[in-house]
Structure 1
Amino acid sequence: MNDSKQTTIQLAYFILRLTMGVNMFTHGVARLLDLEKFNMWMIGQFSNTILPEFLVSLSSYMIPFAELIIGVLLILGLFTSRALLLGALLITVLVFGSGLQENWNVMSSQMIYAIFFFILSYLIELNRFSLDNLRK
């Protein structure tokens, strides 16, 4: 593969990683702006599931921070493989929650996130435009 094509593919990877990072970052920021409102919303969403309220509440306080941190790391391309793993694990937890709620529409959207985390993880060697690459 010639250098121009390789650079184009690496730029495409960068844009996908950056987009996923911005997505996660903005989710985290929006929820952190009114964390108590998010917590109360989550408790209401899970009130008819088997999850105890304290566990839902604990999760609702942790999820926005996780989204924010994962987003920042993906935007910067710093510790990218770890951030992708954490993002994929977070999506797994969210899929579990959606399944308990029988919220199949939201789960479908979360499965798309899972696919993007897989793609970014699988193609990690294309992560040229990143702080990880500068650290090498």
Structure 2
Amino acid sequence: MEKPAVEFQHDGELAYLLLRITIGTNICMHGVSRILSGTASFAHSLLPLFQKTPLPGWAVLAFGLTLPWLEAVFGLLVLLGLCTRFALLAGSLLLIALTFGSTLRQDWESAGLQLIYAAVYTALLAFRNRNVYSLDSLFGFGPRTRE
């Protein structure tokens, strides 16, 4: 028995919502957990990892102090679907920086995981027209009609 097309009409929007909430929660909690544990502690834990790279310690420390806040903010924006385009672009740029650091350290496992995050960000950006269940859409910044 064939199901009516109406049942599946909004599946694309629901799938987008679920993926956006999942990645938003993941990234936001990366930041929140590091903030709650202490950003200085997190930043200092990066120093030994980058000791054998050409990056100066002050740059690693500055990035480590900033990263948790950026993750928390960009993740929250993606989670809520607020300023979604900006948050996805900014999050992608952050992932490029993280990938640079991972590959510089030859940490291929982390670099591989970051590729998965990058693919999710790319998919969310490419299908942003499905972002109808979001604060952007509620405030008139996102798609208002369903295709």
TM range (shorter): over 0.9
- TM-score w.r.t. length of structure 1: 0.96
Q: How far apart in 1 are the matches of 2:33 and 2:91?
A: 17
Kindly provide the CA deviation profile for residues 91-133 of structure 1, in whole angstroms up to 9, marking residues without a partner as x: 0000000011000011000010010000000000000000000
Q: How far apart in 1 are the matches of 2:34 and 2:47?
A: 14
Deviation of 1:3 (Å)? 5.0
Larger Rg: 2
Q: Which amino acid aligns with 1:124?
A: R
Residue 60 of structure 1: aligned partner: 64
Deviation of 1:44 (Å)? 1.3
Q: Which amino acid aligns with 1:101?
A: R
Runs (4 or more) in structure 1 with deviation over 2 Å come to 2-6
Residue 24 of structure 1: aligned partner: 27
Residue 15 of structure 1: aligned partner: 18
Deviation of 1:5 (Å)? 2.3
Residue 127 of structure 1: aligned partner: 131
Residue 106 of structure 1: aligned partner: 110
1:77 to 78, 81, 91: 81
RMSD of the alignment, in Å?
1.0
Deviation of 1:135 (Å)? 1.0
How many residue pairs get aligned? The number is: 135
- TM-score w.r.t. length of structure 2: 0.89
C-alpha change, 1:3 and 1:133, in structure 2 (3 Å) is farther
Residue 39 of structure 2: aligned partner: 35
Q: How far apart in 1 are the matches of 2:116 and 2:55?
A: 25
- Asked if residue 117 in structure 1 is aligned to residue 110 in structure 2, the reply is no
Structure 1 regions of 5+ residues with no counterpart? none
Residue 50 of structure 1: aligned partner: 54
Q: How far apart in 2 are the matches of 1:57 and 1:19?
A: 29
